[in-house]
Amino acid sequence: MKIKKEEALFYHNGDSPGKLEIKPKKPFKTQRDLSLAYTPGVAFPCLEIKEDPIRSYDYTIRSNLVGVVTNGTAVLGLGDIGSLASKPVMEGKALLFKRFAGIDVFDIEIDEKDPDKFCEVVKKISPTFGAINLEDIKAPECFYIEKKLKEELDIPVMHDDQHGTAIVSAAALLNAIEITGKDISQIRLVINGAGAAAIACGRLYRKLGVKNIIMLDSKGVISKKRDDLPEHKKEFATDENIRSLKEAMYGADVFIGLSKGNILSKNMVLSMNEEPIIFALANPTPEIFPEDVYSVRDDAIVATGRSDYPNQINNVIAFPFIFRGALDTRAESINDQMILSAIRGIAELAKKEVPEEIKEIYESDLRFGRDYIIPKPFDHRLLIEVPVKVAEASLKLGVARVKDFDLERYREDLKKLSYELLSSFK
Ligand SMILES: NC(=O)C1=CN([C@@H]2O[C@H](COP(=O)(O)OP(=O)(O)OC[C@H]3O[C@@H](n4cnc5c(N)ncnc54)[C@H](OP(=O)(O)O)[C@@H]3O)[C@@H](O)[C@H]2O)C=CC1
Ligand SMILES: CC(=O)C(=O)O
Ligand SMILES: [Mg+2]
């Protein structure tokens, strides 16, 4: 399935520019409706919120509203194309939040590269939102921005390119390792890229038991011999006497690409260990295309970030569902335990039998194995399994701000929501 430029531009323009609109959800036909929605009626909820800010969750859309916030400095693999040019991606994220988890989004493109000034803007607009999804902000600024906002805001803040990507790729990695029968503590794992996504993935894989990680940036292998390394890269500096991707790939079990397109060669793939796992995740052009891997190896497990190949490892499988669970428990934050629970939910779902209607969407007999290591974005069960796990962790860890939350009832509510979304997006 190849996507042509003309078709993509038409999709975004067509009869009406953009991918979203805002719709009212209360009756609004009569003079009475006008008096309730606007002045004088609106003053009552205003005063309730003034008295107790938590009531903003009851009287406004805040409880279901995420801010997708960027400065456009690392947009997909397109690089620093600026905040305005990033808007189609941010509208796309908003569409995914709505379709897959029923969450409303305002996309906010901020023309500011200075991390402190950027944080100041996000802080000032935070009363609007129930949570903040940081998107496509480059490293190293993204680490500082996320940390500062987490410290200063009492709503969940998550940098999707870091943690969304780490969660989904970790779930896929655990499943791929299971299929190949490798031992996670023994694998040699090469991460190409040392930015937002790569560093977060490396950190999470270590928590899951990976010991031997070689990381590369645009200058080559991150080694202890280099004297140009910032702190976040030093964490991954190797003692090995290697400098290039070619040398790093020799005997590797796993390749994770979070850099830019067309960087991994067939010869490098040939030099990998048996049953290699290759996640070429740069968007839209992966580090290597699956057909090129298969032309030299028939024992590989391959994934990309794209929607037009099997095994799509993309943060879309994480962020809608993590934020759903966080919003519904009115969590103060999204923490490590919620992240680990989400990984479990995603990895386990891939092993369950796939309903016929999902197979029909993908015109494929999806069955846990080499070409199906991770659930599909259109799998409506994600909206049940992941938020329940996240909510459970949120309640257990005391970051939830809801009382008397019944997980079984929540599961039923999510089922209902998933059917509503299925029928409203037909
Ligand atoms: N599939 C998915 O779900 C996701 C995919 N991604 C993809 O990952 C990529 C990186 O995104 P992100 O981390 O947000 O961006 P960042 O700008 O934070 O990081 C980019 C990293 O790529 C490195 N890089 C650039 N060129 C090369 C090269 N030739 N060899 C090795 N490394 C190189 C940079 O090196 P240096 O540090 O030297 O500048 C930098 O470390 C993008 O293509 C993006 O689309 C990101 C998030 C999710
Ligand atoms: C998928 C995504 O968030 C990215 O490529 O930046
Ligand atoms: Mg992104």
**String of DSSP letters for 282-300:** -SSS-SS-HHHHHHH-SS-
pLDDT band at 250 (very low <50, low <70, confident <90, very high): very high
Mean model confidence pLDDT for the chain: 96
* Ligand 1 atom closest to 161 (CA): 47
Name the residue at shortest CA distance from atom 4 of ligand 2.
76
Mean pLDDT for 308-315 is 95
| Active site residues per annotation | 38, 93
CA of 3 relative to ligand 3 center, distance in Å: 20
Q: Is 314 marked as a binding-site residue?
A: yes
Q: Which residues pair with 20 in a beta bridge?
A: none
Q: How many CB atoms lie within 10 A of CB 104?
A: 19
Taking ligand 3, which is a single-atom ion, which protein residues have CB atoms under 5 Å away? 136, 161
Work out the pLDDT band at 18, boundaries 50, 70, 90.
very high
Last residue in a domain, options 304, 336, 352: 304
Mean pLDDT of 122-136: 98
Percent with pLDDT over 90 in the chain:
96
170/238 same-domain check: yes
From the CA of 162, the nearest ligand is 1
Whether residue 284 has a cis bond before it, omega within 30° of 0? yes
Q: Is 135 marked within a binding site?
A: yes
Question: How would residue 173 be classed by pLDDT, with cut points 50, 70 and 90?
Answer: very high
Evaluate if residue 1 carries a pLDDT over 80: no
Confidence of residue 2 (pLDDT cuts 50, 70, 90): confident
* Candidate from 161, 243, 317 with most ligand 1 atoms within 8 A of CB, to mutate: 161
Q: Which two tokens stand for residue 167?
A: 């969660």
Span 141-158, pLDDT tens digits: 999 999 999 999 999 999
pTM for the complete prediction?
A: 0.95
Task: Tell me how far the alpha carbon of residue 102 lies from the centroid of ligand 2, in angstroms.
Answer: 20
Q: What would the mean pLDDT of 361-377 be, rounded to a whole number?
A: 95
Q: Say yes or no: CB of residue 333 within 6 Å of ligand 1.
A: no
Domain membership flag for residue 13: no
Rounded distance, CA 279 to CA 313, Å? 8
Residue 426 has pLDDT above 90, yes or no: no
37-89 pLDDT, tens digit each: 999 999 999 999 999 999 999 999 999 999 999 999 999 999 999 999 999 99
Judge if the beta carbon of residue 315 lies within 6 A of ligand 2.
yes
> What pLDDT score does 130 carry?
97
Question: Domain boundary at 243, 274, 304, which?
Answer: 304
Q: Which residue has a Cα nearest atom 5 of ligand 2?
A: 76
Report the pLDDT value the prediction gives residue 327, as an integer from 0 to 100.
97
CATH number at residue 286: 3.40.50.720
238 CB near ligand 2 (under 6 Å): no
Residue with tokens 């979203």: 20
Q: Between β-strands 104-109 and 65-70, what pairing exists: parallel, antiparallel or unpaired?
A: parallel
**Any atom of ligand 2 within 6 Å of the Cβ of 283:** yes
User: What are the DSSP E strand ranges found in 234-365?
Assistant: 254-257, 277-280, 301-304
Question: In the listed set 281, 304, 327, which residue is the last one of a domain according to the structure?
Answer: 304
Q: Verify that 207 and 274 share a domain, yes or no.
A: yes
How large is the average pLDDT for residues 354-383?
A: 95
Question: Do 241 and 358 sit in the same domain of this protein?
Answer: no
- Phi, psi dihedrals of residue 408, rounded to the nearest 5°: -70, -40
State yes or no: pLDDT of 135 exceeds 90: yes
pLDDT at 403: 85
Domain shared by 238 and 288, yes or no: yes
Domain membership of residue 19 (yes or no) is no
Q: Is 51 assigned a ligand-binding role in the annotation?
A: no
Q: Establish whether residue 162 lines the binding site of ligand 2, counting it when its CB lies within 6 angstroms of any ligand atom.
A: no
| 311 assigned to a ligand binding site | no
List, in sequence order, every residue forming a beta bridge with 312; answer none if it has no partner. 304
Helices (H), 14-60: 31-37, 43-51, 56-59
- How many residues make up the chain in this entry? 426
Q: For the residues 386-402, what does the mean pLDDT come to? A: 94
Domain that holds residue 393: 318-424
Over its C-alpha atoms, the chain yields an Rg (Å, rounded) of 22
Q: How far is the CA of 93 from the centre of ligand 3 (A)?
A: 9
Residue 417 domain-assigned? Answer: yes
- Inside any domain, residue 330: yes
270 and 389 share a domain?
A: no
Q: Residue 305: CB within 6 Å of ligand 2?
A: yes
Weakest mean pLDDT among 143-147, 157-161, 164-168, 421-425: 421-425
